[in-house]
Homo-oligomer: A and B are copies of this chain.
Amino acid sequence: MPYTYEYPRAAVTVDCVVFGYDAAALQVLLIQRGLAPFAGAWALPGGFVHVDETLDDAARRELREETGVTDLYLEQLYTFGALDRDPRERVVSVAYYALVDPAHFALAAATDATRAAWFAVDAVPPLAFDHAHILAVALARLRGKVRYQPLGFELLPEKFTLTGLQRLYETILGTPLDKRNFRKKILAMELLRELDEVEQDVPHRAARLYQFDESKYRALTERGFNFEL
């Protein structure tokens, strides 16, 4: 045990709130803890930050190790430093939130240490540590930010219908939106590429598919454009 310091030090961890959207509900990815404390309880994926990796790297590594999820939209949320967050010792946790299309990833298989699963955000089990609080902060941030940043697309498959996009926004914001006004507004932004494709295997008229045009968004942003609603 060779690591000795003049003053006591807090441990630094990352915790990740991974949001997914699946057909009807906003979901969050949780892992079931194998070890004490809170063995058996559900928790946010996360863990200790190595002394030679950045915070972002630690968040991505933990997600990969614990859930198998990679390549997602990831953004720092807030840093939680209450004295009694962890019953063992002082732990400062840098929380991240992430957005991902759940259909795009197979969850990591259950191991001795962890099992990962999706839960609807309004039906999560009791969580370990202060993770319920972190989740609440993440949800508030997502609801706030989705209005003025094009985050929603990160939760959808690459190709989506306008109705699908609308339902996503309705789910996140918790309010119904007018179909015609929504389409008018979204299309007026010119951020979507209209594809020559329609959805498949639906028992009614198939809707046209669209794609988010990242490069157009960047170009517009530089010219002072602001995404809104």
Interface residues, chain A, CB within 8 Å of chain B?
Answer: 1-12, 48-56, 76, 78-79, 81-83, 90, 92, 94
| CB-based contact A81/B49 at 8 Å | yes
Q: Find the residue from A1, A12, A50, A81 having the highest chain B CB count within 10 A.
A: A81
Q: How far is the CB of A83 from chain B (nearest CB, A)?
A: 6
Identical copies in the complex: 2
Residues of B within 8 A of A11 (CB): 5, 9
B94 touches A51 (CB 8 A): no
Inter-chain CA distance A94–B52, complex, in Å, is 18
Q: A1-B6, A7-B51, A76-B79 are in contact. List 5 more A-B contacts (CB 8 A).
A: A3-B9, A5-B5, A5-B9, A7-B50, A9-B10
* Known A-B contacts A76-B78, A79-B94, A81-B94; A51 and B8 likewise in contact (beta carbons under 8 Å): yes
**Complex alpha-carbon distance, A76 and B79, angstroms:** 8
**From A50, A55, A79, A83, residue with most partner B Cβ within 10 Å:** A79
Question: Taking A54-B82, A78-B76, A94-B79 as contacts, is the C-beta distance between A5 and B10 under 8 angstroms?
Answer: no
Query: Chain B residues with Cβ under 8 A from A82's Cβ?
Result: 54
On chain B, the residues within 8 Å of A94 by CB distance are 79, 81, 92
Chain B's closest residue to A94 (CB) is B79
Distance, CA A125 to CA B228, complexed state (A): 37
Closest 9 CB pairs of A and B: A55-B81, A8-B51, A4-B4, A9-B9, A79-B79, A3-B8, A3-B5, A79-B94, A51-B90
Q: Is the CB of B3 within 8 A of A92?
A: no
29 contacts between A and B (CB under 8 A): A1-B5, A2-B4, A3-B4, A3-B5, A4-B4, A4-B5, A5-B5, A5-B9, A5-B11, A7-B51, A9-B9, A9-B11, A9-B12, A9-B51, A10-B12, A10-B51, A12-B12, A12-B92, A49-B92, A52-B83, A52-B90, A53-B83, A54-B81, A55-B92, A56-B81, A76-B78, A79-B79, A81-B94, A92-B94
